[in-house]
Chain A
Amino acid sequence: MASNSSRGSSERHRIAQHRLSVIAGHLQRPLNGDTTIRATECKAQGTRPDVATEMKTVPRRRQEIMKWNGWGYNDSKFIYNKNGQAEFTGKRYRLSGMIIPGLRDWMESTFGATVQHKTPATPVLNTSAVQPPTLNEAFVEGIKSTGIPFSHDPEDRVFRSHGHCLHEIFPLREGKVGRVPDMVVWPKCHNDVVKTVELACKHNVCLIPFGGGTSVSSALECPPEETRSIVSLDTSQMNRVLWIDEKNLTAHVEAGIIGQDLERLLNESGYCTGHEPDSMEFSSLGGWVATRASGMKKNIYGNIEDLVVHIKMVTPRGVIEKSCQGPRMSTGPDVHHFILGSEGTLGVVTEVTMKIRPVPEYQKYGSVVFPNFEQGVACLREVARQRCAPASIRLMDNEQFQFGHALKPQVSSIFTSFLDGLKKFYITKFKGFDPSRLCVATLLFEGDREKVLQHEKQVYDIAAKFGGLAAGEDNGQRGYMLTFVIAYLRDLGMDYFVIGESFETSVPWDRVLDICRNVKARIVQECKDRGVQFQPLSTCRVTQTYDAGACVYFYFAFNYRGLSDPLHVYAQVEHAAREEILANGGSLSHHHGVGKLRKEWMRETVSDVGLGMLKSVKDYVDPNNIFGNRNLL
C-alpha cells in the first residue's frame, strides 16, 4: 500500500492524493472516484478560507448519520449474518462488507458468548423517557435574538448527554435516559461563542461544551446535582480552516473541526497535522486541547501540547489568548497549560493555531513477532533509548495478538491462506515460539523513502537482538485497524452479554512489565471475586514510547451472563484496576483525561497545593461555575 510518488509539476497535488489514500489505509475504504474529484476541486480552488463549508461530516442532527446508543456511523456495525458468520456492514471502512470468519469462534472461546444469548439494544429512542427541558426563558430569548441555531428536541439533547463510557452507553441501549442537557446551541464562529457565554453568565445557566462526543471519562455527563438549566454548546459547526501559513507551517483552525475533516482539508493543500488519536474520525480539535490528547504518531509530530502554537478560549471572564505566535516564550507559567486539559471547566476553545507539516512522501507499515512480552518490552525500551522510534510503535500482548488474528477478513485465495500457514509454521515450529506467549509489535514509518527504509532497517536490527522476527506489513496494518474498529466491536459484544472498555496510563520504563502483569492479574482476580461467571479478557499493549517511560493501554471485557448488576461489577473492577495502576507507579491518565470518572484520585495525583492552584484558577476564571460540568476538580 505504500507507493512512492514521483515528483512532477503538480507535486503537491499528488502528495495530497497520496495522503488521502494513506488515511484510507488504516481508516477507510480505498477511495472512490468521488473523493478524488473533490480533492481536485479543492486544489483547483486553492486555499480558500472557507474550504470546509461544503463538506460537513458532522451535521447538526448527528443522529441522522451516527448511532445514538453506540459507536460511530449508523451504517457501520458488526453483525452475525444469515450464515452465522461475523460481518462488518457499510461501505466506509476497509473491513466494510467483509466476512470475518474467526470472530465468532473468538467471541465464543474468549468470552463464552454464544449467538443463542442475545441482548439487543433498543432500536429507537423513546422520547417520552426524556425529562422535559428546564428552560431559562431569558436565556432562550437572548439566543433567539442572536440568531444562533438551538434546539430542545429530545433526540438532540440525549445525543449530547453522554460520552462513550460503558456506563453511559449501556443504559441507553436499554432505553434508559438520565439527566440530559435542556437545550443545545450551535454557534458558528468565535463571536457566536462570545455571545452565548455572555448570555449564560447574565442568566446563570450552566454551559457544557460538546465537541466530538468521544469522551471516555464521564466528562459529558450532566451533574445530577445541577439545578440550573444545562445548555450543551455544540462546537461542530465551527469547523473551518481559517488560514494556512506556509511560511511558518501553521494553520489557524476553528476548534469544532473533527480530526478526519482537519486532516482532509490540510491534505488538499499538501499538509497534515500528523495528530492521529484513535478517535480521530469523530473527536474534535477543541476536545483534544481540552483533554491533552495524544496521537499515535506523536513520535514525529508530538502530542497536542507540542502541536499548538496559539489558543483562543472564551471564558466567563472574557477571551484568553497570547499576543504573538512566538514558538516558545519565557513569560511565566505557560497560560496554554491552564487551557490544555481544562476539560471544559474554564471555557470554550474556539480557535487554534497549529503546526502543520508537508504530507510525508512515503509511509510503510511493519510488524515484529517476539517470543514473549518481556522481550518485546525490552526491545521497545531499547528503541526509545536510541531515540529511533518510528512514527508509531506498539507492542500488543499475546491476547491482543490473538484478538487481532480473529479479525482477519476472509482470505481471497488459497495461495494467501497457504502463505499464512507457512508463516505460522515458520514462527511456531521452526523458530520455536510458543503461540500462547508470543506477542507482536506493529510499526508505522513515515518520511522520505530512503530514510524510511534506513530507519526500518535500524529498528528491525534492534528487534532482532531481542529475538524479534519481522512479520510483514499486513500484520502491522491490521494492528492499527484494530484500534479503529474496536469501538464498533464493543457494540457487537453488548449484543451478546459482553461488556468492556479500555483505559490507559503512563509509567516509567522499569515498571512497564510489572504494571502490565499486575493490572491484568488484578482484573482477573477482581472479576472472580465479584462473581463474574466467565474468564474475562484482560489484555494490554504498550502503545507509546517516551524517553523516560511508556503509555500502556488496557482492554478489559467480560461476559456478564448471570450477574444482576453488571455495570456495578464493571465499575468496581475498573476502580480496582485504577488503584492497581496507581500503586504500581502509573499515572491517573496519559491522554483520556480525568473527567468525573477519575476525579476522586486528583488530590493524591497533584497534591493538595496542586489541586488548590487549579481550584483558584477556576474560581477566578469562572466564579459562578457557568462551565459547570464538574470535571477534574
Chain B
Amino acid sequence: MTNTYRDVGVAGQQDEEDFVDILEERRLSSDLGFALRTFSPQLHKGSPPCSSAELHRAVLESQYLRYVTKEVAMETGSCEQEVREEVCGILGEMSQNLQLRFIRLMAYMMTKVFKTVFSAIFVNVEGLNMLQQATQENPVILMPNHRSYIDFLVISYIMFSYDIPVPVIAAGIPLAGMKIVGEILRRSGAFFIRRAIGSDRLYWAVLSEYVRTVVRKGFAPLEFFVEGLRSRTLKSISPKLGMMHMVLEPFLKGEVYDITLVPISISYDRVLEESLLAHELLGVPKPRESTMGLLKASSVLQENYGSMHVNFGRPLSVRQLCEGKINRCQYNLTPRDLPQKPSADVQACVSWMAHLMVRIQEEGSRISPWSLMACLLLQTPATVLTEQGLLWHRLTEKTLWLRRLALDFGAHLNWPEQIPDSDVLLSTLALHRTVVHQKAGRVFLVWGGEPEGRHPVSPEEGVMRTAAAALMLVSYRNQSLHVFVRPALLATAMSVTKSTERDDLLAYFCFLQDVFSNEFIFIPGRSSQDFEEAGYLLKKCKAVHISQQEVTVSDSGLEVLSFLQELLKPFINSYQLMFRYLCEDADQIFTEKQFLHAVRTLATNAVLSGELDTYEVLSSNVQKNVLSALQRLRMATKVKRSENEEYKVDRAAVGRAGDVLSGKVPPQVLRATPAARL
C-alpha cells in the first residue's frame, strides 16, 4: 500500500511517550522568570537578522513592486507617486514588527492563561528537535491547522520555550483592528492580510512580495494557516492556494535552495469557542473581533478545556516534493521579478501540496475519546437523546468498539493508557457537560440557551435548540471524520450501488469524492489510491473480502459497514434534500442569502415532520458547501447582477446528480473544474 503522504512522512507520532507537557514545568517555576529567560535561537545559516524596517524597505524597493506600481499607474491613470504612496499604506497596514520584548510579554500572559484553561499542553519533542535542525538549514514554513484563536500564538509560545526562532505569522486583518491587542500581535510577529482581496492587483502584489521577501531572507520562520481561516466545524477546510504559491515561489525561481514545510497538528480536547461556533453555523453572526469582546469573553477562561496536543510533523523538503512535478526551467525566459501567471504544472503542484499538507495535519491530529463518542451519539435518533436518553453502558461499549476500529484505521488517539477505560469515558463526559449530561445511567443532550420551562418553546425554536447541541456534537465528530471517510465512501458505494464489481464501486466512489470534495479533504488526482486505501482498511478490519474484480461484505463486516454508512448519511441526506429543492422548488436564479433561508425553513419542516433525521443540513457550512460543489461541478454559475452575486442553476444536471447520489442512475464522469485556481 503506497500512500504519498505516508511516504513523505507523518512523523513523531509512533511513540505516545514522545509528548511532553510544557505546562508542567511552568507550574513549578516562576512565570516571570520564564518570560525573561535567555532566548538564543539558532538562525538559518547565512541569513543575517532583518529588522522590520529593513524588510519594509526591501519589499518597497523590489523590482517586482516597482513594475506593478508602474503598470497600475498606467491602468488607473494616476501618477506613479500616488500609487507608491498607496503601496506604502498597504505595507504599513500589513507589516509585522516582531520584537523580543513583546514575545516575552506574550509568554508571560499566555502562561497565566494556559495554566488556568488547559490541564496540559503536549508537544512532541522529537518533532521540535527536527524543526530546530531545519531552521538552521533552509527557510522554514510552519503550517498549523486552525481550530481556535488559541492556535494563533501557541506556536510562538512553544518556539520561545524551545529556543527556536519565533515566526512571522499571517493573520486576518480584523485582528489588527483590535485596540492594543492588534498592536501586541503585530509586535509578536503577526502581519495582517485583508479578507476578500479579490482582484485588487496592487494589494496582491504587495502581499506576495512581502511574503516572498520573508521567505527569501529567511530571518524567521513564516507561519500561516493553509486552510485560510479558522474552521468553524473543526473539520479541515479545503486549502487556500494563493499564499501557498507565494511561499513556494522563491524555491521555484531558484532564489533559495530549498524550503522546509512543517505541518503542525493542533488538537483540542475541548475548543474554547465551541458554542459560539455552533450558533454561528446556525446563522447567528460571529461577534466582531474587538478588545472589548475579548475581555467579555474572558468568562470562558474560567472553565477547564482539558488538554491540547501540538504535534510537529516531520519537516518536508519542497525540493523533494516538487521533484518531477515542476520543470523549473519555465522561469528561464522571463525576468524573475516580473509578474507571471503560474503555469498549469505549477498550479497543479501547489494545489497538490496544499492538500497534502492538510492531509498530514489530519493524520497528525490526536483524536479524543469524546470525538468517537460524538460519532456514536450522532447515530442515535435525536428524540432518543433529547427524551429517553441513551444507556451509558451501551455508549461505553460502542465507544470501546469504535476505538479499536479507529486504531485499525491508523488513527492516533489521545487515550490515557494508565487509567481504566470507564474512568476515561466518565471524565470525558464531565469535560463536555455543556453538551451532554448523564442521569440515571442514561446520557442526554443538553439543550442550549435559557433554562427549560421558562416559557413554552415553539416547535421551530425547539428544532434550533436541538440543532445547536447537535452541531456541537457534529463539530467534535468532525475531529475524527478523516479517519473514517475513505472507508465510509466505499461502504456507502457498496450499499448504494448494490454491486460487488470493483469498477462500479470505484466509479461511485469517485463520484462521491467529486461531490464531497468541499466536505472532506481529498488530494487531487488520488481517487484510485484513496479507493485502494479504503479497500485495504476495510479488509484489515475484516469487514470485506477483496479479490481482483470484486469487493464483497464479510460475515462479520456488517457492524463496521453500517457504522460507516451511517457516518456519511447526514451528508448524503443533506445534499439530497438541497438537490431536490434546487431542481423542484427553487427559482432558477437566487442569491446565497435566499438559498440559505429557504433551505433552513425547508429543513426545519422536514425535521419536524420526521422526514429527515439530521440536523446537519441546518448548518450554513453544509449549505454553502453545496453551492461551491455545484459551481465546481459546473451545475451552477455565479452571476453578478446589480451589486448582488446570484447563482444560476442547471436544474437538469442537479437532478441527474441527485439520481446518481441515490443510486438510481450509474455515475458518469462529472466534469469538475480544476480546483487548482490560484
Contacts and interface: CB of A to CB of B under 8 A. Distances in A.
B254 A584 contact: yes
Contact of B331 (A518, A521, A585): A585
B236 to A, nearest CB: 32
B336 interface: yes
A583 B336 contact: no
A288 to B, nearest CB: 28
B254 A518 contact: yes
B254 A583 contact: yes
A526 to B, nearest CB: 12
Contacts of B257: 517-518, 521-522
Interface string B241-280: 0000000000000110110000000000000000000000
B677 interface: no
Contacts of B328: 583-584
A495 to B, nearest CB: 33
Contacts of A517: 257
B453 interface: no
Contacts of A521: 257-258
| Max chain B Cβ within 10 angstroms of own Cβ: one of A511, A515, A522, A604 | A511
B254 A582 contact: no
Interface string A560-583: 000000000000000000000011
A521 B336 CA distance: 21
Interface in B306-363: 327-329, 331-332, 335-337
Contacts of A50: none
Given A521-B257, A522-B257, A582 B335 contact: no
A306 interface: no
Interface in A504-523: 510-511, 514-515, 517-518, 521-522
B254 A514 contact: yes
B255 A514 contact: yes
Contacts of B336: 510-511
Contacts, number: 26
A511 B254 contact: yes
B335 A585 contact: no
Nearest to A519: B257
A517 B47 CA distance: 13
Contacts of B329: 582-583, 585, 604
A515 B336 CA distance: 13
B335 A515 contact: no
Contacts of A584: 254, 328
Contacts of A582: 329
A583 B327 CA distance: 7
Interface residues of B, number: 12
A511 B331 CA distance: 11
Contacts of B331: 585
A284 to B, nearest CB: 34
A307 B257 CA distance: 39
A567 to B, nearest CB: 24
A522 B258 CA distance: 10
Nearest to A511: B254
B255 A585 contact: no
Contacts of B255: 514
A604 B330 CA distance: 11
A601 to B, nearest CB: 10
B48 to A, nearest CB: 11
A510 B335 contact: yes
A308 B332 CA distance: 31
Contacts of A510: 335-337
B495 to A, nearest CB: 48
A604 B254 CA distance: 19
Contacts of B332: 585
Nearest to B317: A525
A583 to B, nearest CB: 4
Contacts of A583: 254, 327-329
Interface string B629-653: 0000000000000000000000000
Contacts of A522: 257
A515 B335 CA distance: 15
Interface string A510-546: 1100110110011000000000000000000000000
Contacts of B337: 510
Nearest to A605: B329
A514 B337 CA distance: 14
Nearest to B251: A518
Nearest to B63: A510
Nearest to A437: B46
Contacts of A515: 254
Contacts of A514: 254-255
A514 B328 CA distance: 13
B330 to A, nearest CB: 10
Nearest to A584: B254
Interface in A463-521: 510-511, 514-515, 517-518, 521
Contacts of B254: 511, 514-515, 518, 583-585
Interface string B279-313: 00000000000000000000000000000000000
Contacts of B327: 583
A583 B336 CA distance: 13
A511 B255 CA distance: 8
Nearest to B258: A521
Nearest to B250: A514
Contacts of A604: 329
Contacts of A518: 254, 257
Nearest to B257: A521
A521 B138 CA distance: 11
B486 to A, nearest CB: 33
Interface in A403-456: none
A5 B255 CA distance: 50
Nearest to A582: B329
A521 B328 CA distance: 17
A518 B331 CA distance: 15
| Max chain A Cβ within 10 angstroms of own Cβ: one of B257, B258, B336 | B257
A633 B57 CA distance: 49
A511 B332 CA distance: 10
A254 to B, nearest CB: 40
A572 to B, nearest CB: 15
Contacts of A585: 254, 329, 331-332
A585 B335 CA distance: 10
Interface in A593-633: 604
A602 to B, nearest CB: 14
B601 to A, nearest CB: 57
Nearest to A514: B254
| Max chain B Cβ within 10 angstroms of own Cβ: one of A515, A517, A582, A585 | A585
B217 to A, nearest CB: 13
Nearest to B333: A585
A179 to B, nearest CB: 34
Nearest to A372: B46
Nearest to A507: B332
A114 B542 CA distance: 61
A583 B332 CA distance: 8
B279 to A, nearest CB: 51
A604 B332 CA distance: 12
Nearest to B137: A521
A518 B329 CA distance: 14
A91 B465 CA distance: 100
Contacts of B335: 510
Contacts of A511: 254, 336
B338 to A, nearest CB: 11
A585 B337 CA distance: 14
13 contacts: A510-B336, A511-B336, A515-B254, A517-B257, A518-B257, A522-B257, A582-B329, A583-B254, A583-B328, A583-B329, A584-B328, A585-B329, A585-B331
| Shortest Cβ-Cβ A-B pairs, 5 listed | A583-B328, A584-B254, A521-B257, A585-B332, A514-B254
Interface of B: 254-255, 257-258, 327-329, 331-332, 335-337
Given A514-B254, A583-B327, A585-B329, 8 more contacts: A511-B254, A515-B254, A517-B257, A518-B254, A518-B257, A522-B257, A583-B328, A585-B254
